Chains A and B, each alone.
Chain A
């Protein structure tokens, strides 16, 4: 464990309200070394082993507050990549509570965040160079917007944290800067009524915070709007592909068994030759639905995600079926592939609605109402066509 730096705000005289603050280090230990030792022990208890991004600890009316760095270490960057890839993001959390960045005092701003480590990391990176408080809510490791939608980043949790860390004693002002996307869960008027703190909805992006502060806590219309550019969409695709690929090995096994199936048993030659082609087409559909559609979203015609996915799926699969040997030997098989795979792409594209910033639940319901019957019918039709293909290949037709 690295040595801890202690910034005692009482000694530096930077704190405004200190008369009735029952802070942990003021228990009669005048000796600086003893206080330092006590703080270090407390940190071990509170924080466990000190993470890289924590540079020290300071004393406040809220008790001992970890000081965090505005820098990202290699571990933070690796964590971001892992969180963007898959289920690692489920456990990527920081402890809820109050944190300090820089050397905050009684007049410093309070920035509210979620306890998804990536949300927290982005905030502290964007706050580098500023002194302020970061109040981390317990959102079960989910980012601000999604947590706000579920209500975990919400009025009750915010009120609870503000009271729990005795924020009113830590700062002299009565302002909380809450990310704008938190407004889905935070009712500003109620927070004011229950805590006395005014909620100022900050910009959508943490990267605009400095400009927002410089403008006297004013967000321009651009800062208030969610952007969903290609880079943003691209960064979301590994999760989509990961989800889609999860069922692929099992599906592959079934496909290989079906294609290998002969009146005399399962033949590996057929399983390999026809099954492989079929799976290659499935992969093409998967890429079309879970990668191409999200990335090229605004450039694909139609607003419906199912139709967008159908368009990309058909564009990817139909030429492969008709113009390359991948389509297989019979027209029954080709027809089956041309039915099944564009619909698979369509289904996967529809899944991306969950990651977008602009789809509505009403719209998704409307799409599903139309398309779920089509998916089921398509599945049935392509299954019948494959059976016909099998019967034909066995010489029974």
Chain B
């Protein structure tokens, strides 16, 4: 299953990649693959912007504007003017996601 085309902010700088392979380990959608000692992006559209790769890349080769891909959180963010925050776990402002 794939979401919209080109709907990710994932950015990869091959120049900074040292080939440690951490991104292939943490990505839940197999976006990366190791090729010739460096990470390569196989399919960008599989990315869900969870941010695990960017957080765990020690060399700053990856960046992604992560956040919850949740409509009610985004709507709430629009209405309150704040960042989209998923309200799960807080029964007072539960948005119903996750």
Query: What is the interface of chain A, defined by CB distance below 8 A to chain B?
Result: 87, 90-91, 139-143, 145-150, 152, 180-181, 183-189, 201, 204, 219, 221, 224-226, 228, 239-240, 243, 297-298, 303-305, 350-351, 353-368, 372
Contact = CB atoms under 8 A, between A and B. Distances in A.
18 contacts: A90-B91, A139-B89, A142-B89, A183-B26, A183-B55, A184-B50, A184-B51, A188-B22, A224-B25, A225-B28, A353-B97, A354-B72, A355-B98, A358-B29, A361-B66, A363-B8, A365-B74, A368-B78
Interface centre among A201, A358, A364 (most CB of B within 10 A): A364
Given A140-B89, A147-B89, A189-B58, A366 B4 contact: yes
Interface in B50-98: 50-52, 55-56, 58, 65-75, 78, 84-86, 88-91, 94-98
Contacts of B86: 146, 149-150, 354
Contacts of B74: 361, 364-365, 368
A224 B75 contact: no
B2 A358 contact: yes
B69 A141 contact: no
A140 B90 contact: yes
Nearest to B95: A354
Contacts of B70: 353-355, 359, 361, 364
The 7 tightest CB contacts between A and B, nearest first, are A354-B97, A354-B70, A363-B7, A183-B26, A359-B69, A183-B52, A361-B67
A90 B89 contact: yes
B72 A351 contact: yes
A368 B79 CA distance: 12
A204 B50 CA distance: 14
Contacts of A201: 25-26
Interface of B: 1-5, 7-9, 22, 24-30, 46-52, 55-56, 58, 65-75, 78, 84-86, 88-91, 94-98
A219 B69 CA distance: 26
B4 A304 contact: yes
Contacts of A361: 49, 65-70, 74, 84
A360 B28 contact: no
Given A149-B66, A367-B71, 20 more contacts: A143-B98, A146-B89, A149-B50, A149-B98, A180-B28, A188-B56, A189-B56, A224-B25, A240-B96, A298-B1, A351-B71, A353-B97, A354-B97, A357-B28, A358-B29, A360-B8, A360-B69, A363-B3, A363-B4, A372-B75
Contacts of B26: 180, 183, 201
A94 to B, nearest CB: 14
A358 B48 contact: yes
B60 to A, nearest CB: 12
Contact of B30 (A189, A221, A355, A368): A221
